[in-house]
Amino acid sequence: GALVYQYPRRTICKSGTSMRMECQAVGFQATSVAWYRQSPQKTFELIALSTVNSAIKYEQNFTQEKFPISHPNLSFSSMTVLNAYLEDRGLYLCGAIQGYEQYFGPGTRLTVL
């Protein structure tokens, strides 16, 4: 079956520091990976859509300078939250896309102190 792993599941960082999160697709090839953020008491916002061998498309309010993404192959993607502040806290979800299907990982919960 198709599985998506995310690492770490939880992380705490000091304000102004950076943290990297990873997304691994197992059992299928993810042609695209979507990164989402769910801030406390809110819905899921799309950060960016990354397609292998194509430019990464960031949504409004999210930039490559703040959330650089690496997507080297069809099974792995990583995203870094640079210079994290309180408003960056939340649950970061990776959605690995294969055609019609999008499989979600369990998320990385970021706490910023």
Partner 1 sequence: AQKVTQTQTSISVMEKTTVTMDCVYETQDSSYFLFWYKQTASGEIVFLIRQDSYKKENATVGHYSLNFQKPKSSIGLIITATQIEDSAVYFCAMRGFASALTFGSGTKVIVLP
Residue 4, judged by CB atoms within 10 A of its CB (0-12, 13-18, 19+), counts as buried
Q: Is residue 67 close enough to count as binding partner 1 by CB under 8 A?
A: no
- Distance of closest approach, residue 91 Cβ to partner 1, in angstroms: 5
Considering only 39, 42, 63, 85, the residue that binds partner 1 (CB under 8 A) is 42
Tell me the pairing of strands 69-73 and 108-112: unpaired
> How far is 38 from 72, CA to CA, in rounded Å?
25
Residues that bind partner 1 (CB under 8 A): 31-32, 34, 36, 42-44, 46, 49, 51, 91, 93, 95, 97, 99-100, 102, 104, 106-107, 109
